[in-house]
Structure 1
Amino acid sequence: MEIFLTLAEELHFGRTAESLGVSQSRVSQCLARLERRIGARLFDRTSRRVALTVIGEQFRADLSPAWRGVEQAVARAVAAGRGITGELRIGFSGAFTGHLLHRISEEFGRRYPGVDVHVRQVQISDPFGPLRAGDVELQVTEPPVAEADLRLGPVLVSQPRVLLMSAAHPFARRESVSLEDLAEATLLTVAGEVPTYWLDHHFPRQTPSGRPIPHGQAITHWEDALSLVLAGKGVTPVAAAGARYYSRPGLLFKPFTDAPVIDYAFVWPTGRETARLRAFVQTAMDHIHGAGGTARAVEALWAGGGAGA
């Protein structure tokens, strides 16, 4: 049945064999036995073309829901045998990482239907609090993470760093900006339970040449940054993907010519790694590989058109 359904999808004996890891002759033999059992041809095939017959179309329509049920039952049994069941709570810091996590969760749900995944945003003013409190078990956040009780996992997303500014800002007419230019701007920063080393990395106090960078108001929620930038109270570095999710009249996103990329990586409490957590991270990295890597992961979300959450 699996061979029939795969061939019905691929309409190509070679690709079907490759997909299932069997020989092409095995595909032909199984199809011949199935057609003898049914007493009718399921495919019209020539040297140039493979197509479902009317009976084949009906058989696929009748069989597909039942076969999905079988696959889900097997997946649930396998997951239960591996201890991959229960609830998994995941945090994120940016809208595009949340969008990506929801997409990965759909794939994870097909692999491990016994796990109920909940995805929620973590406020920038307390980036590690929910992990430590147990409100989330896994999080995607911006390194650096140098906490003894937290383990930094693989990078999920890499994005160019851009500078968010008002359309009325003196930099607005420039094609790009440099890190040295920050000495001539007011940089918004973050307040709350945020490590100093993290702030110094993302909101530096001096340029590479040592010039001081003026700091403005410290925010506790990302939405505060958008309103302050619109009001001309300062600028802030963000990931380039933010232009798709936070764009609005009066805001500009100018690329840096010399700033490092912003990574978003998995992090979880040391010593609290579960089978379902490992399974989600593996599913995520498989998804990223299929999307073309960490630098293309977010753009791949838009390939079909539409943003999502």
Structure 2
Amino acid sequence: MERPDPSLPQLHAFTVLAEELHFGRAAARVGVAQPPFSQQIARLEARVGFALFTREPGRVALTPAGRELLPAARRALADLSDGLAAARAVGAGRAGRLRIGFSASLALTVLPGLLGTFRARHPGVELDIREMTTAPQLDALRERVIDVGLLREPPAGADGSLDFRTVLTEPFVAVLPAGHPLAGLRTVPVGELADEPFVLLPRAVGPRLYDRIAELCGASGFEPRVVQHAVEWQTVCALVGAGLGVSLAPASIRRVRLRGVAFRRVDPGPVGPCGARTLVAAAWRRDDPSPLVAGLLALADREGAREGRRKPVQ
């Protein structure tokens, strides 16, 4: 008949007795009375099938079987201790792995400060950072490929599996070739762009952001005539600088500072200033209890508030 594996309390009692070689001192060290302590050793010996200690008046010693078991017992207890410490660290948010998706334009706004602060507060946490546009981030969250998404313009409809939190709002700016006549203005009325060709992100990679720009134009009486698409805002700006068209973009894009490109405030016209802003949001799974996710969300709120206090675009 196969004997069951020994319990961890039995292995602990065994290793203490192997060090003390005295039942009374070993029991006191474990914190139990000697009879129950002796019973633990006896049960362990019954499971092994051989005596682990010789017992003579005034003398206790390991048997060959006991000497063979001792290193394995110490390893098992050390592995348990390491596992408990690791579990406590993860549970407290001091260790583990956090997978973050982010839209590329956020590297120009909240992302650097957020990651720097999180790293300083959680040096034992491994960060896995993945650049993704909005729609792929949402899919990656649902498929549990990432834990948090930092994106522009979360979807308008309810999503039973995901939660969203607005981290920051920022104004749109007009992106113009530096030599464009409108670049001489401090503020460009959106309606003045009606006859211009546009360079924009494809709607598929950020439907809500694309629609918000279209709504901004629509409120001024026109539909943007898109002649060129680019997946990243930096590329949009480069194409504008090359003379392919104009664009409306989040204000943080002005930090790209490409030669031949001018960024100007916009007068949103009928929609008012609130309608001429874009949302940066954090997204996460509703059923994710991770303290790392909660910690990042709290820091994202603080970094968003700090970013919102920056000097506005000139």
TM-score over 0.5 for the pair? yes
Q: After TM superposition, which residue ranges in structure 1, 4 or more long, deviate above 6 angstroms? A: 75-78
- Tell whether the 8 Å contact from 1:163 to 1:254 is kept in structure 2 after alignment: yes
1:175-195 residue CA offsets vs partner (Å, 9 max, x unmatched): 211222231222223226336
- Tell whether the 8 Å contact from 1:90 to 1:139 is kept in structure 2 after alignment: yes
How far off is 1:299 after superposition? 6.0
2:236 corresponds to 1:225: yes
Amino acid at match of 1:170: P
Residue 96 of structure 2 corresponds to: 86
Amino acid at match of 1:138: V
- Tell whether the 8 Å contact from 2:93 to 2:122 is kept in structure 1 after alignment: no
Distance in 1 separating the partners of 2:121 and 2:134: 31
Residue 156 of structure 1 corresponds to: 167
Residue 172 of structure 1 aligns to a residue whose secondary structure is: helix
Residue 184 of structure 2 corresponds to: 173
Change (3 A) 1:283 1:86: same
Amino acid at match of 1:85: A
1:62-112 residue CA offsets vs partner (Å, 9 max, x unmatched): xxxxxxxxxxxxx99974343663111112224454663333233323433
State the identity as a percent.
24
2:264 corresponds to 1:250: no
Residue 287 of structure 2 corresponds to: 271
Residue 131 of structure 1 corresponds to: 141
- Tell whether the 8 Å contact from 2:154 to 2:164 is kept in structure 1 after alignment: no
- Tell whether the 8 Å contact from 1:79 to 1:112 is kept in structure 2 after alignment: no
Residue 113 of structure 2 corresponds to: 103
- Tell whether the 8 Å contact from 1:177 to 1:254 is kept in structure 2 after alignment: yes
1:216-255 residue CA offsets vs partner (Å, 9 max, x unmatched): 21222334312321221121212222222x1121000011
Give unmatched runs, 5+ long, in structure 2.
1-84
Residue 136 of structure 1 aligns to a residue whose secondary structure is: coil
- Tell whether the 8 Å contact from 1:183 to 1:211 is kept in structure 2 after alignment: yes
- Tell whether the 8 Å contact from 1:202 to 1:237 is kept in structure 2 after alignment: yes
Higher-Rg member (1/2)? 2
State TM-score, norm by structure 2. Answer: 0.59
How far off is 1:150 after superposition? 5.7
2:142 corresponds to 1:142: no
Residue 237 of structure 1 corresponds to: 248
RMSD: 3.3
Give unmatched runs, 5+ long, in structure 1.
1-74, 301-309
- Count residues with an aligned counterpart: 221
State TM-score, norm by structure 1. Answer: 0.60
